[in-house]
A and B are shown apart, each in its own frame.
Chain A
Amino acid sequence: MPYAGRLTLYFFLTPVLLWLFLLIVIPHIDLFVISMQVENDDGDMVWSLLNYQAFFEEKIYWMTFVRTALYAILTTLLTFIITFPVAFYITKVLSIKYSGFFTILLLVPFWVSELVRIYGWMILLRESGVFNHFLLQLGLIDVPIEMLYNDISMVMGLVYTSMLFMVVPLISSLEGLDDSLIEAAYDLGASKPVIFAKIVIPYILPGITSGSIVVFMLTLGNYLTPNLMGGKNSLWFTEQIYNEFIASFNWNQGAAFGFLLLVLSTFIIWLGLKLTRQNLSRALS
């Protein structure tokens, strides 16, 4: 490579490498080091696996961990099931004239912060909220129902927060699907369910994968929504991490939990890619 070319390469690569190294690699190394240490009786830090041991011995920790993973997977699935028809409708059914307008309509809620959106839901769902008000007025119920602070409201909030990140990759991969492929399959004798299963889904699989990865990771690492919309029993693993760092001031335990969450998300994404025979670089390209 000529000298000038190499210089340009370094010039553009340096910020990326600095960012990766300073903000991701170094903190994680530090986090890992902290997670492998505990305070002994003398107040000194010593190497130990006690933090990780605590995780496996204390039922509440790993139960929360498994719960978080399962609910994150469920949220990803629900987000796909809800957004796929929307994306399909916008790209394949609506005329091009309106599809841009509808895409913008989908984006509008995401112009306000997640916190504001969640409070919006809370205003609708709480005991003295809008829904209860109308149900009482209509005489359908006599006593207000508490619709917030349970697993259902939490998952609903998570799905709502994640929808954008699923619908955008779905729309872009559906736009790449030529309508004539669908017609060709129809012409060759395929029924509509077969067209979906054999043509549409395989074609947009990279889009589904990238959307799912983003939604899954955002959900797994979400703190706000489970905290505000989930109930006392709807513990999320990020809340455990928060508790260790802020409430118990046990950074070593918190760091170990943080690392376990990282391992968990990596493992589940790897498993998902293996199961659908996908390639990470292809899915994200």
Chain B
Amino acid sequence: MSEYDLEVENLVRDFAAFRAVDHVNFKVEKGSFFSILGPSGCGKTTLLRMIAGFLEPNAGDIRIRNESVLGVPPNLRPVNLIFQHLSLFPMMDVKENISFGLKRRKIPQSTIDKQVDSILERVGLPEYGQKKINQLSGGQKQRVAIARALVLEPSILLLDEPLGALDLKLREQMKIELKKLQQQVGTTFVYITHDQSEALVMSDQVAVMDKGAFEQIDTPKNLYAHPKTGFVANFIGENNSFDATVSSSDPFRVKINSDMEFNARAMTGLSTGAECQLYIRPESIVINPLQNEPMNKFSVTVKNVLFDGANTKLLATIGDTGQEIMAALPQDKRFDHIQPGERLNVGVYDDACTCF
């Protein structure tokens, strides 16, 4: 008995000459929250639709609780999908929507009534059974959609960017609610999104997907701190990226122009003279570092302060080169004096400079 609810092996799907999903492998542990994160068009929806059964793969296998579901139509698979636009049935009320799946199973009406009441209670919408769908707010619709799927007790709940249509405040709130709900019901969630914050906040494991293939599967923290590829480094969180040349391999140093050299961390085998990309996170740049602190130090000219509350950024150019760099600007009054045109000393620790 494996502890995996979902196992995907070498899955391939082509649309004519275009390979949408390219040899994808992953396993999802029972009761965990697994996210697939990638830009639009990376093949994540195709992957999800194959798991749900709306598409058949060209090659590979999908196993749910150890049983291959290839060739099983969606209505017979033990998974349920929350659609991007929720797809609640507008001609039915909340209760009819939720009991739709149960009725297909020929369960007696009294049992259905009990189950609907209990799931409505669980998603925090008791007494909402008689409401029409168009009487609900965005967040309530979301919860009805989840209740409609969860009441069927699926092995896996698939979610296709269900928060995409909500406004920012509600999205933040639903993120936390979804996570809580998942922990409470213990159902395995497979969540796809292009919004990294959704994936990072809610997930136990995140798979970063690009051009049909998985770049890295890891915990949110590791993805952020130890990206394995340049794509992940760029896609997760914000990053400054520079074209660089390796000037020495031990100690590892890279040059981004004739007179700027950085001590850095090579993430892949890079030999002297090789071209690479240097990534520096905005929040790892220290403004006015201490004199004797061992770090890469350089001076920048402030171009602009991009105020955004806790996410305020400093846009500057390095030395006299005109290469732009973003730095986080903590809003703790220390740096309120910074004005465009000013010259600042900044520093960044060696292992915060990663090269691919």
Is the Cβ of A184 less than 8 Å from the Cβ of B87?
A: yes
Query: Given A189-B75, A189-B105: A198 and B87 within 8 A (CB)?
Result: no
Indicate whether B141 reaches chain A with its CB closer than 8 angstroms.
Answer: no
Evaluate whether A183 and B91 lie within 8 angstroms (CB atoms) in the complex, with A194-B104, A198-B100 already known.
no
- Does B298 touch A at the CB level, under 8 Å? no
Scoring B residues 99 to 116 as 1 if CB is less than 8 Å from chain A, else 0, what string do you get?
011001100000000000
Interface: A180 (CB within 8 A) = yes
Q: Mark A188-230, 1 if CB is under 8 A from B, else 0.
A: 1111001000110011010000000000000000000000000
A-B contact count (CB 8 A): 59
Report how many residues on chain A are interfacial, defined by Cβ distance under 8 Å. Answer: 18
Interface presence of B152 (CB below 8 A): yes
A95: min CB distance to chain B, Å: 13
Which B residues are CB-close (under 8 A) to A198? 100
Task: Kindly state the separation between the CA atoms of A203 and B75 in the bound complex, as whole angstroms.
Answer: 20
Interface band, chain B: 20 to 34
**Complex CA–CA separation, A190 to B73 (angstroms):** 11
Instruction: Give CA–CA (A183, B76) in the complex, Å.
Output: 13
Task: Say yes or no: A184-B83 contact (C-beta < 8 A), given A189-B152, A198-B100.
Answer: yes
- Chain A residues with CB under 8 Å of B74's CB are 183, 186-187
Interface of A is mostly: helix
Q: Are A185 and B83 closer than 8 Å at their CB atoms?
A: no
The one of B75, B91, B101, B152 that contacts A191, using a Cβ cutoff of 8 Å: B75
A181 at the interface (CB under 8 A from B): yes
Secondary structure type dominating chain B contacts: loop
Q: Chain B contacts of A203 at CB under 8 A? A: 89-91
B83 and A180 contacting across the interface, CB-CB below 8 Å: yes
Q: Which residue of A lies closest to B100 (CB)?
A: A188
- A190–B104 touching, CB < 8 Å: yes
Known: A188-B80, A189-B75. A183 touches B87 (CB 8 A): yes
State whether B52 touches A187 (Cβ < 8 A).
yes
Contacts of B53 in A (CB 8 A): 187
**CB-defined contacts of A187 to chain B, threshold 8 Å:** 52-54, 74-75, 80-81
Q: Could you tell me if B104 and A189 are in contact, using CB atoms closer than 8 angstroms?
A: yes
A183–B152 contact, CB under 8 A?
A: no
Q: How far does the alpha carbon of A186 sit from the alpha carbon of B105 in the complex, in Å? A: 13
**Are B104 and A188 closer than 8 Å at their CB atoms?**
yes
Q: Is the CB of A185 within 8 A of B100?
A: yes
Write out, one digit per residue, whether chain B residues 29-63 have a CB within 8 A of any chain A CB (1) or not (0): 00000000000000000000000111000000000
- A149, chain B: closest CB distance, angstroms: 45
* A182 and B85 alpha carbons, distance in the complex (Å): 13
Shortest distance in angstroms between A209's beta carbon and chain B's nearest beta carbon? 13
The answer to whether A188 touches B83 (Cβ under 8 A) is no
**Closest CB-CB distance, B115 to chain A, in whole Å?**
14
Residue B148 at the chain A interface, CB threshold 8 Å: yes
Smallest beta-carbon distance A283→chain B, Å:
14
> What is the CA–CA distance of A188 and B102 in the complex, to the nearest angstrom?
8
Task: Say if the beta carbon of A58 comes within 8 Å of chain B.
Answer: no
B324 to chain A, nearest CB (A): 42
Within 8 A of A (CB), among B145-163: 148-149, 152
CA distance A186 to B81 in the complex (A): 10
CA distance A194 to B76 in the complex (A): 14
- A183 near B104 with CB under 8 A, answer no
Closest to A201 in B: B91
B80 contacts which chain A residues (CB < 8 A)?
187-188
B16 → A minimal CB distance (Å): 13
**Within residues 93 to 130 of chain B, which ones have a CB less than 8 A from any CB in chain A?**
100-101, 104-105
Chain A residues whose CB sits within 8 angstroms of the CB of B76 once the complex forms: 189
Which one of B87, B104, B105 lies within 8 Å of A180 (CB-CB)?
Answer: B87
Q: How far is the CA of A199 from the CA of B85 in the complex (A)?
A: 17
Q: Assess the B85–A178 pair: CB atoms within 8 A.
A: yes
Give A133-177 as 1s and 0s: 1 = Cβ < 8 Å from B's Cβ atoms: 000000000000000000000000000000000000000000000
Contacts of A181 in B (CB 8 A): 87, 89
Q: Mark A68-96, 1 if CB is under 8 A from B, else 0.
A: 00000000000000000000000000000
Contact A188 B54 (CB under 8 A): no
Which residues of B lie under 8 Å from residue A183 when comparing CB positions?
A: 54, 74, 81, 83, 87
Complex contact B87–A178 (CB within 8 A): yes
Excluding A178-B87, A189-B76, A190-B101, 16 further A-B contacts by CB distance (< 8 Å) are: A180-B85, A184-B81, A184-B83, A184-B87, A184-B88, A187-B74, A187-B75, A188-B101, A188-B104, A189-B75, A189-B101, A189-B104, A194-B104, A199-B89, A203-B89, A205-B91
Q: Which residues of A contact B (CB under 8 A)?
A: 178, 180-181, 183-191, 194, 198-199, 202-203, 205
20 contacts between A and B (CB under 8 A): A180-B85, A180-B87, A181-B87, A181-B89, A183-B54, A183-B74, A184-B87, A185-B89, A185-B100, A186-B54, A186-B74, A187-B53, A187-B80, A188-B80, A189-B104, A190-B100, A190-B101, A199-B89, A203-B90, A203-B91
| Shortest Cβ-Cβ A-B pairs, 6 listed | A188-B101, A184-B87, A189-B104, A180-B87, A202-B91, A189-B75
